[in-house]
Amino acid sequence: MTGMLRVPRTRGVASGLLLVLLGAWGAVIPFIGPYFHFAYTPATAWTYTVGRLWLEIIPGVATIIGGLILLVSAFRPVAIVGACLAAAAGAWFAVGALVAPVWTGYGTVGPNAIPAALYPGTPTGGPLHLVAEHLAFFTGLGVLIVFIAALALGRLAVIGARDVELVTGRVAPDEEPVTAPASRLPRRRLLARPARDEEPASTKTADDTDGDSERTNVFRRLISARSSGSGTDDS
């Protein structure tokens, strides 16, 4: 049963790599976005705020850690923990900035007295630019992270037939089982197979030889009698 907790490392490579890249994007984009006029206020590069720490840096680092766990872990429960960590970080990316007004009145920083730790700033640019920034920094990024983490969780939660075969030792890790029935073999192979094993002539016994000689003699007598009968009728 312990073997069922093992999982091939290749199962979480794609999901883990994507989560690492998305987490790095979420943690770094607030600091390099101003270079491309794609930022929340303060719209200056490499400017640190407490709001960026709690709403972007921490969930970004958590997503990176979860992705790295998926990349390197071959132990199913540990890999599941990594996927759950990434999913929680993605959910915080999506809803963290939206729940900030709940704490209205508990701080004095930002508009509407939102606490400094939950103040993401305001997006810059026109209407379409504002939507793109909000999706790329928070909501869209978080939903994408949760989706990829959920895919990884689904793959890790299912114990496939291949996993069972590897644990029970029925199939070697680098060897595929041959399950094709004989009826599906190519027709040429089926025709090449002998229908039955024939007995070689050298194995015939003396009794078989005598029987063949006797049948030959009888056959000759019949032919001779028939020939003589035909001659009598002609005369």
Highest mean pLDDT among 100-104, 178-182, 209-213: 100-104
Higher pLDDT, 9 or 47: 47
Per-residue pLDDT band at 184 (split at 50, 70, 90): low
Per-residue pLDDT band at 178 (split at 50, 70, 90): very low
Per-residue pLDDT band at 235 (split at 50, 70, 90): very low
pLDDT surpasses 90 at 145: yes
Residues 6+ apart with CB under 8 A from 27: 56, 57, 59, 60, 61, 64
Query: How far is residue 61's CA from residue 69's CA, in Å, rounded to a whole number?
Result: 12
Alpha carbon distance, N-terminus to C-terminus of the chain: 99
Query: How far is residue 171's CA from residue 81's CA, in Å, rounded to a whole number?
Result: 29
Q: Which of 69, 67, 74 is nearest to 89 (CA)?
A: 67
pLDDT surpasses 90 at 164: no
pLDDT surpasses 50 at 175: no
* Residue ranges of domains in the chain: 2-168
Q: Which pLDDT does position 109 carry in this prediction?
A: 57
Q: Which residue has the tokens 């006797």?
A: 214
Q: Which pLDDT does position 115 carry in this prediction?
A: 74
Token pair for 190: 């089926």
| Of 16-20, 98-102, 199-203, minimum mean pLDDT range | 199-203
Average predicted confidence (pLDDT) for the chain? 77
Q: Are 34 and 75 in contact (CB under 8 A)?
A: no
Q: Are 89 and 60 in contact (CB under 8 A)?
A: yes
Q: Which pLDDT does position 161 carry in this prediction?
A: 58
pLDDT surpasses 50 at 171: no
Average of per-residue pLDDT across 12-20: 93
Q: Which pLDDT does position 203 carry in this prediction?
A: 52
Q: Which pLDDT does position 90 carry in this prediction?
A: 97
DSSP string, the chain: -GGGGB--GGGGHHHHHHHHHHHHHHHHHHHHGGGGT--BSS-STT---HHHIIIIIHHHHHHHHHHHHHHH--BHHHHHHHHHHHHHHHHHHHHTTTSGGGGTTS--SSGGG--GGG----B-SSHHHHHHHHHHHTHHHHHHHHHHHHHHHHHHH---HHHHHHHHTSS-TT-------GGGS-HHHHHHS-SSPPPPGGG--HHHHHHHHHHHHHHHHHHHHHHHHHHHHH-
Q: Which pLDDT does position 7 carry in this prediction?
A: 74
Q: Which pLDDT does position 95 carry in this prediction?
A: 93
Highest mean pLDDT among 91-95, 179-183, 203-207: 91-95
Query: How far is residue 218's CA from residue 210's CA, in Å, rounded to a whole number?
Result: 12
Per-residue pLDDT band at 231 (split at 50, 70, 90): low
Q: Which of 5, 57, 17, 6 is nearest to 149 (CA)?
A: 17
